Amino acid sequence: MPFYYFPMSRAYLIGYLLVIIGSLIMIYAQIKVNSAYSKYSKIPNSRHMTGAMVAREILDRNGLQDVRINAVGGKLSDHYNPRNRTINLSRGIYDGTSIAALAVASHECGHAIQHLVGYKPLVIRNGILPLCNVGQYLGWIAVIVGLIFGNSNIAWLGVILMSGILLFQIITLPVEFDASSRALGILKANYLTTDEYSGARSMLSAAAFTYVAAMLSTVLSLLRIVLIVAGNDRD
């Protein structure tokens, strides 16, 4: 059946329901991490160290003196850039002395340490990222073209290409979990009291859930496309 008929199909309606569920999961994840950050950004660490200070100590202790630490704009825009070997911390983390600041800064140091030791999931993720981005773009084109012209082979090829981003997100999970594990181990041993450590763990757990939510949302979005393509095949 031509593309312009399937909006009335049950597969199309179920697909929209899946997208709504995925969006709700993402919203919940953002509320969760923002709530955790709001709570723990107001609690100072007992050593009164800033995120930048702790990050510098962690990096130097692990032989990463060449990794620069930059202050950047935005809220929770913190990230490690492996291309220019920089840790980029938002102002609230860079200058902050809160438990949240130390948790986030240490997490980004965890990524730098992963890069140093050649942590396999990180190497794989960085390697497939360009292919996944291209695949997602071409996948949408293939799906739309396949549905418009009634060519299921092209449409299914598009689904396969688009699934690359799901693979990327799956590989991202151990990368993020491991970085948080490294960060928490360092914080517990050197910087935080027992109560402070509990707060840092809650903060990083909430942040990690955003990656789980993104993966689940992608699964539901892909399932929506699969239902539409499969329904178009039957019609």
Q: Which residues are catalytic?
A: 108
Nearest to 209 by CA among 50, 30, 40, 7: 30
- 3-state SS, residue 89: strand
E strands in the chain:
68-72, 79-81, 86-90
Task: Give the integer Cα–Cα distance in Å for 202 and 103.
Answer: 10
197-231 burial, b if ≥16 CB within 10 A, otherwise e?
bebbbbbbbbbbbbbbbbbbbbbbbbebbbbbbeb
The secondary structure of 21-87, three-state, reads HHHHHHHHHHHHHHHHHHHHCCCECCCCCCHHHHHHHHHHHCCCCCCEEEEECCCCCCEEECCCCEE
- 3-state SS, residue 7: helix
**Residue 172 CB partners (closer than 8 Å, separation 6+):** 125, 211, 215
Task: Give the integer Cα–Cα distance in Å for 99 and 106.
Answer: 11
